[in-house]
Amino acid sequence: MQANNMQDKSLLAASSVDEQQTDDIDDVPPILTILYQDEHIVAVNKPSGLFVHRSFMDRDEKYFALQLVRDMVGQYVYPLHRLDRPTSGVLLFGLSEDIARKMGQAFTDKTIKKTYYAITRGFLEGEGQVDYPLKEKLDKFG
């Protein structure tokens, strides 16, 4: 009886260590790669699952691209556009309020062209463009 009780205690202790290590893994911030940087802008590769900045939808989130990039470059940054949380891709930040204003106007005036690429299932014969809205709900294949 005594041996079982000691064994149960050591299993319980090991279990709590495993849970603590798992919690520590969850505290690791996402890694963003700087793709380009000059004195005006910085471009990073945003992974899917990361919000660009705080919003009403992020109550349980700990990391945001805005803060991660700010910490990487050592100064305040201004998001020039957004990518939805499930979307990965190039995310641009201005390094000054003036640049953010000018780039914002360029996006508004559509003098900057954005192109989105999607990974899809299926095949196309030949070459072409698919102009079809994305499905909002995922099926059993994701």
The CB density around residue 47, as the number of other CB atoms within 10 Å, is: 14
Sheet with strand 89-94: strands edge to edge: 33-37, 41-46, 89-94, 78-79
Asked if residue 92 lies in contact with residue 104, where contact means CB atoms within 8 angstroms, the answer is no
Q: Is 100 helix (H, G, I), strand (E, B) or coil?
A: helix
58 is catalytic: no
Residue pointed to by tokens 């990974």: 119
Q: Spot the catalytic one: 18, 84, 98, 109.
A: 84
Q: Going by DSSP bridges, is the β-strand pair 33-37/78-79 parallel, antiparallel, or unpaired? A: unpaired
Catalytic residues: 84
